Structure 1
Amino acid sequence: MNPSTDVSPTLAAEAERCRRQIRLGQYAGPTAGLAAGCVQANLMILPASWADEFLLFCQRNPKPCPLLAVTEPGRYNVPALGRDIDIRNDLPKYRVWRDGQLASEPTSLDDVWQDDLVSFLIGCSFSFEEALLANGIDVRHIRLGTNVPMYRTNIPTAATTRLNGPMVVSMRPMKAKDAIRAIQITSRFPAVHGAPVHLGDPALIGIARLDQPDYGDPVDIQPDEIPVFWACGVTPQSIISTVKPRFSITHAPGHMLITDVSNASLASF
């Protein structure tokens, strides 16, 4: 993936404004709906000793882990995704993991940053939500101002030597006709998870209760709606819980990096 940051000055300025607010501690919530038109990215940070293998894992699992950019060890700027990005401070909330256990949820990584850390920026479904809204499809969590519901599933990822675990999915309830249209729309965006991986009965992918997501917030499903599930960039957090690396960092679910890349530039056709 080689996204372009050749976007309008207005769009880039809005992305920078949002990052600046986050960096200064003026915004700490989920980023869905912020900087309309701009790509948002999931984050996975690992020591360099894990980097090559996680890159291979992403290549084997492009649905949940579509790569947008990878940094050099110790680098915290990402020029491929925007000017003046500081990975250590430009996300509203992070998760620091030690031996596979969640150790803290800081709003800055300044105190835990290491010179051998490699950052992986992974496509986010927030990008295709803009296209869904433009086609008149209700995106429930945006309308409600909550975080998207996400669930661990029984869908296995394609393992590497040390990395394995179940896929995480995000869910949006839709009427059947909107679900069909959503499949058509999101298939145009393989860099941000593409088409859904499942729709209908959640038990078939190992989800017992839709009202109890593993990450994010629950949303109501009306009698004339079905749940539609997309592969999710929170999957690496499921992998961390499974394989328990000594040290790793992720975004807090729903708290993304806002980039200067335009959502429109990711459409494949």
Structure 2
Amino acid sequence: MRNLTPEQFREQVRSGAYTGPTAGVCDGFVQANLAILPKEDAFEFLLFCQRNPKSCPLIDVTDIGSAVPAASAPGADLRTDVPKYRVYRNGELADEPTDLNEYWTEDMVAFLIGCSFTFEEALIRNGIPMRHHEEGVNVPMYRTSVDTVPAGKFSGPMVVSMRPMGSGDVVRAVQVTSRFPSVHGAPVHIGNPEEIGIRNLTKPDFGDAVTVREGETPVFWACGVTPQSVAMHAKPSLMITHAPGHMFVTDLKSEQLGVI
């Protein structure tokens, strides 16, 4: 999957041949988190994203009723091209389908939000290994005690992803990821997880736990799963997202989002 083009990968997803996490697929292309809402809630959610750019950096927003992300993947279909979705009704997880043909309506607006999987390639090129790649699992994600900035009905805690690394790699990781503000940018916290309300690294709220070796530092980035936390907190009548770690792969090159 690593060497497929985005179009080839989305064809695999659309056919049902691939339903797993997307970390490491389609080298060099931007991956995105997904949030879909009825138009009645779309403006408030857009405002929420604008007020919380670290957690929700917008990549693309569709026209009302359109499942085509015209600015980032004009040949794609957001109803079928994500490996796994989550459907929330009134804040409760109702389903985890592999397509949205049953749920899509003509009043829906889809938001694509930058994903930290994009900057992982740059970290690896700089000699910083990704533990969840090494262990073949999804990246660990945690709800924090850090509140987002509310917008209308949308509010709730920030979610972060965590990558452990040697202390000698931390400064370089900050430098590298700072170049990618459109996919969460620099870390929001380094070190003691309890300072942001995380009590146990072995029990992530989303994704899978990874090994944190003696002497390593946990480094935390704002995460595009935050809208799912917001959905559970704000309880909109309907909100559809990607399943954690199961991203939409765009046609955008990662280097297009880098800042020199």
TM-score normalised to the size of structure 1? 0.95
- 1:141 partnered with 2:166: no
Look up the match of 2:207: 216
Instruction: Give the letter for the 2:167 counterpart.
Output: A
- 1:259 partnered with 2:250: yes
SS at match of 2:68: coil
Mapping for residues 30-69 of structure 1, pairs under 5 Å:
30-69=21-60
- 1:173 partnered with 2:164: yes
Look up the match of 1:19: 10
Look up the match of 2:146: 155
In structure 1, distance between residues paired with 2:232 and 2:41: 15
- 1:117 partnered with 2:108: yes
In structure 2, distance between residues paired with 1:112 and 1:42: 18
Contact 1:42 1:122 in 2 (8 A): yes
SS at match of 1:43: strand
Contact 1:168 1:233 in 2 (8 A): yes
Look up the match of 2:72: 81
User: For residues 26-78 of structure 1, what are the alpha-carbon distances to aligned partners after superposition, in whole Å with 9 as ceiling and x for unaligned?
Assistant: 00100000000000000000000011111111010000000000011110011
In structure 2, distance between residues paired with 1:47 and 1:190: 28
- 1:13: how far off? 6.7
In structure 1, distance between residues paired with 2:55 and 2:206: 15
- 1:12: how far off? 11
SS at match of 1:227: strand
Look up the match of 1:231: 222
Contact 1:12 1:260 in 2 (8 A): no
Identify which of 19, 22, 31 aligns with 1:28: 19
- 1:128 partnered with 2:119: yes
In structure 2, distance between residues paired with 1:253 and 1:210: 17
Contact 2:85 2:98 in 1 (8 A): yes
Instruction: Give the letter for the 2:95 counterpart.
Output: S
In structure 1, distance between residues paired with 2:203 and 2:213: 16
- 1:100 partnered with 2:91: yes
SS at match of 2:154: coil
In structure 1, distance between residues paired with 2:131 and 2:181: 22
CA gap 1:13/1:208 in 2 versus in 1, 3 angstroms:
closer
In structure 2, distance between residues paired with 1:149 and 1:45: 23
Contact 2:66 2:109 in 1 (8 A): yes
In structure 2, distance between residues paired with 1:238 and 1:43: 13
Identify which of 184, 189, 194 aligns with 2:185: 194
Instruction: Give the letter for the 2:17 counterpart.
Output: Q
SS at match of 1:64: coil
Instruction: Give the letter for the 1:85 counterpart.
Output: A
SS at match of 2:88: strand
4+ residue runs over 2 A deviation: none
SS at match of 1:20: helix
SS at match of 1:167: strand
In structure 1, distance between residues paired with 2:46 and 2:19: 29
Q: Which runs of 5+ in 1 are unaligned?
A: 1-10
TM-score normalised to the size of structure 2? 0.98
SS at match of 1:112: coil
In structure 1, distance between residues paired with 2:124 and 2:193: 24
